[in-house]
Chains A and B, each alone.
Chain A
Amino acid sequence: MNRSTPSPASRGRKESWIGQSVERLEDPPLVAGRGEFAGDINFPHQLHMRIVRSTHAHGRIVSIDTAAARALPGVYALWTAADIADVPPIDFREGSIPALDPYRQPVLASGVVRYVGEPVAAVFAEDAYVAEDAADLVAMDIDELPPLLDSQAAPVEFSPGHGSEAALIRQGYGDVDAAFRTAPHIVELELAIGRHSGVPLETRGAIGRYDASRGILELHGAAKVPHRNQELLSRMLGIPPSAIHVHESHVGGGFGIRGELYPEDVLVCVAAKRFKRPVKWIEDRREHLIAANHSRQQLHKIRAAVDADGVILAIDDVYFHDQGAYVRTHATRVVHMTAGILPGPYRVPAYRSVGHFRLTNKTPAATYRAPGCYETTFVRERLVDAIAARLDIDRIEVRRRNTIGPAEMPYLRPLEALGESIHYDTGDYMGLVEKLFAKIGWDKLKADIKKRKAAGELVGIGVAMFVEKSGLGPIDGVKISVDTAGMVEVVTGGASLGQGFETVMAQVAADALGIDYRRCRVIHGQTDRISHGIGAHASRATVMTASATHIAAMKLRAKALEAAGELLQAPADTLDIVDGEVMRKDQNPGPSISLGKIAQHLAPGAKTLADREPGLAAEGWFKTSHQVYPYGTNIAVVRVDAETGGVAVERYFIAYDIGRAINPALVEAQIVGGFTQGLGGALFEEFTYSEAGDPLAVTFADYVMPAIHETPAPNILLAQDYTTPLNPLGIKGAGESGITAVGAAIASAIDDAIGIPGAVTQLPVTPQRLKRLLANGGVTRP
């Protein structure tokens, strides 16, 4: 199953496009400044929207004085909740969930404000400056209520009859209590993951346009899940899906948070329809940091029952998920998945997980790259390190004793994530660790660190293992066609967030069709081009959309060969396609015909069409009931500055088995990008709040993201040892691979550096927090 990456194909040679690090099709317009992002989209006569946001974390709206704002020249309209009473709160992606419906976010706050940044009013004006001037003139009289900022505090009333614990999530199996009664060792930890989130370079943007001539409502600036948002808008606004067109343009980063349906998206649609004028909204950075989805904040009280050899007998976890002020489109997705994926690569004979899904007066939270996985990998790997420390067993050895082996695959665990049972398909988790050790010279690395420690340096190594889920189904469809010039169009319901989606789909189509991948144009994120799509999230795009692309392209190939066989008077099975020309395998040179010519022969009205369906086109669908599970290992080497609490990440190693990489360079780029974000969550990024519930991280001066000086280039081992039998190409996902274990590995390395096992219990490890750990741990200053 070992695959090595072939050298790049030169044009015209019959080689596989899959597995090649070809250049991105997306880049020419982007590097030439000819991209079209939400901010670049303009329509004649458009209005500009500005949102007036709550400046209080919690309070009753007594009055909103809009008179001065309305009177400002250039202001077209100003809405508060009363103006859109017919618009329901923002629905869940999967539709109504009666127990959670009361916690949905209204498009504009009605009666109560629940977080700083909540939309209270919307100004529509002739230009963006006037809109902002008018927004400044809106005066809110808010009767303050006490803010709830701690998800561990006793629940309070959210709204009459509804408490601030929106759900209690239970997952588990086996007799946990019995295991804890008899276990020789019980290891207990309390671990916190800070509130942080994806911060794309491009802020959100939405442009609503109503085409009265066709009766079509358009939403531009969509991302991630355009078709899902089309369905959501259809349900919320009572407009048939076919009368709503959602359009994705270039997207400057998504990371799970961009592209969900937010109040602002609904507002531009409703306003465009009502005013019969296009309405444009572009988010500013301060808004982004208080209004777009936050993520991650959880507190786990976890304990493990362990035998005398360090083998885990049971895990019992109680966790508090700080959801913020409302339940947004994802409903319980993150809090539920947390329970399902926590055990990761280890055998856990008995498991109990109780998740408290709690609302607080902060920005609402949802998915951010590796949702639930970043959090639980930190928690689980901290726990395993603690077991090793308690029993004085090497931390690699403890992992070896608990890790699921390749002979145990497929491994079923009676837990759920994203509505599917956990079903690890293939892999050798410990084998990949050994492979990474061999590559980096593990023994020498350990010896070097030992020597530096002896010389007084606070340096340490951290290790973390993880299993990631990818390729969320249930189904993806692709339409593929060849035009009369031989250009291939691949129409998908996928989405591109900048990750190289077009290139990867083109490689897969080109591979099946025997053409140059540069002859493919890949369409995504356009609901008027294809009626179904699930977009790009949960590391699904390559697994799902590429599988559908492969199936569609193979159908098209069969069709082309069949038609060519007739035209060349040769049986189809004697034919092959090489660089877009159908030719005989056994005759070189011999007669040939291009795909474009075949398309001409199959055009409607062509004499050669006979009684076939016209067109050289096909449609392919890929269905699955199970995600696929790639996995990996991270090793971090850090140096701690005991005097300042600063941490420098000196070296970072990531091993990841993806099964089969369509474009290894793009996979590695995903890993590097994810790693950088993981580093942010480990050491830098945190949305902090004052006691009054005021957000304190509202600019890039306060929301501290790692930059180039703080980010070492990770050393990547991209393995392709274990393909999956669950899709035709054997591929697993890549999008979340780099981020998942970074918090865990860096925490482990800091412990090792300062010589205090289990010291790090909270992310991010800020200098101030680390100084406190050092003071409490009694480490002497050098």
Chain B
Amino acid sequence: MKPAAFRYHAPKTIDEAVALLAEVAPQDGRVLAGGQSLVPTMAFRLAKPTHLVDINGVAALNRLGVAGGKLVIGACVRHAAFHRPVCEGPLGALLRDVVRHIAHYPIRNRGTFCGSLAHADPASEWCLVMAALDGEVAAKSAHGERVIAARDFFKGVMTTALRDDELLVEARLNILGADTRCGFYEFSRRAGDFAMAAALCSYRLEAGKIVAPRIALGGAEPSPRRIAEAERALAGAVPGDKAFRAAAQAAMAAVDPMEDATTSAEFRRDLVLAVTRRALERADKS
């Protein structure tokens, strides 16, 4: 439980941080933000980075606000920031509902939104939000900045499109229209645990029928993603038990669930059915 030796760097600006990363990334240098996943991993010596670039002192990364129709979440914004709606309308309310499923208060006070994205745990609630709502991230390195869409960002269990020398500077989510309905549901063995399956959905109603449906799943596959088959089942339907069950069935049929020694694919499929339907019910009541 004692980490291996490492060198610690504390840059004050984004430029300093990316310059340091350019230097240390080839020697297994890593970014330290909230540290809620990285530090325990180091304590177990499953990770032995030789350098840590601590970005907590980079004031510019604390940005949290709306710009150009998007919610912008800087790399150092903590989970706890979302305990109250960070923007008006359904998006702020959705993020407030989601955040209380992320671990426990002490972890939410320290861990960051963007850190969760960079860590890319399959069960991460924020990764699911990004996938469901087609968010994007800005990645910066000494070579410049690029924008990566969520659907191109998550590459598998704890794997992303981020290069070693890139700093995930911010995440962006489109502001949702006031008439957007959203629902989130996850199942875990204990409150605050990693989800064994989670679903997030949104849609709008036109003439009483569902339009622009989004259904995404987390915790079931190596990366969160939208499930086109389920969305198709929902599109044009009248919201209600019949449509929700059909969409949930479609989601269950479409997933390729992860399996391990204690969780079977069959069980995870059952959970997908349950969480998808329940997320839709919550959207209906939102």
| A residues whose Cβ falls under 8 Å from a Cβ of B | 128-129, 132-133, 136, 284-286, 641, 643-646, 684, 688, 690, 696, 699, 701, 704, 706-707, 709-710, 766-768, 771-772
The 10 closest A-B pairs by CB, nearest first: A284-B1, A709-B191, A643-B274, A768-B267, A129-B2, A132-B2, A644-B187, A644-B274, A704-B189, A690-B261
Judging by beta carbons under 8 Å apart, are B192 and A768 in contact? no
Asked if B8 is at the interface (CB within 8 A of a chain A CB), the reply is: no
Interface CB pairs A-B, < 8 A, 23:
A128-B2, A132-B4, A136-B4, A284-B1, A285-B1, A286-B44, A644-B187, A644-B270, A644-B271, A644-B274, A688-B262, A690-B261, A696-B261, A699-B44, A707-B190, A707-B191, A710-B191, A766-B262, A767-B187, A767-B196, A771-B267, A771-B270, A772-B267
Total chain B interface residues with beta-carbon distance under 8 A: 24
| B residues whose Cβ falls under 8 Å from a Cβ of A | 1-2, 4-5, 44-45, 187, 189-194, 196, 261-264, 267, 270-271, 273-274, 277
Neighbour of A704 across the interface among B190, B263, B264, B274, CB < 8 A: B190
Neighbour of B263 across the interface among A133, A701, A768, CB < 8 A: A768
Set of chain B residues within 8 Å of A709, measured between Cβ atoms = 190-192
Q: How close is A11's CB to chain B, nearest CB, in angstroms?
A: 40
Q: How close is B100's CB to chain A, nearest CB, in angstroms?
A: 11
Judging by beta carbons under 8 Å apart, are B190 and A768 in contact? no
Q: How close is B251's CB to chain A, nearest CB, in angstroms?
A: 14
Set of chain B residues within 8 Å of A285, measured between Cβ atoms = 1
Judging by beta carbons under 8 Å apart, are B190 and A710 in contact? yes
Set of chain B residues within 8 Å of A710, measured between Cβ atoms = 190-191
Judging by beta carbons under 8 Å apart, are A646 and B1 in contact? no
Judging by beta carbons under 8 Å apart, are B270 and A706 in contact? no
A285 to B270, CA, bound (A): 33
Residue of A nearest to B273 (CB): A643
Neighbour of A701 across the interface among B194, B261, B270, B271, CB < 8 A: B194
Judging by beta carbons under 8 Å apart, are A646 and B187 in contact? yes
Set of chain A residues within 8 Å of B196, measured between Cβ atoms = 767
Residue of B nearest to A287 (CB): B1
Q: How close is A682's CB to chain B, nearest CB, in angstroms?
A: 13
Known pairs A285-B1, A645-B267; list 15 more (Cβ under 8 Å): A129-B5, A133-B5, A286-B1, A286-B44, A643-B277, A696-B261, A696-B262, A699-B44, A701-B194, A706-B190, A707-B192, A767-B187, A767-B189, A768-B267, A771-B270
Q: How close is A668's CB to chain B, nearest CB, in angstroms?
A: 25
Residue of B nearest to A136 (CB): B45
Residue of B nearest to A48 (CB): B2
A772 to B266, CA, bound (A): 10
Neighbour of A688 across the interface among B194, B261, B270, B271, CB < 8 A: B261
Q: How close is A484's CB to chain B, nearest CB, in angstroms?
A: 48
Set of chain A residues within 8 Å of B270, measured between Cβ atoms = 643-645, 771
Set of chain B residues within 8 Å of A690, measured between Cβ atoms = 261
Set of chain A residues within 8 Å of B5, measured between Cβ atoms = 129, 133
A766 to B193, CA, bound (A): 15
Set of chain B residues within 8 Å of A286, measured between Cβ atoms = 1, 44
A706 to B2, CA, bound (A): 27
Judging by beta carbons under 8 Å apart, are A768 and B4 in contact? no
Set of chain B residues within 8 Å of A645, measured between Cβ atoms = 267, 270
Residue of B nearest to A705 (CB): B190
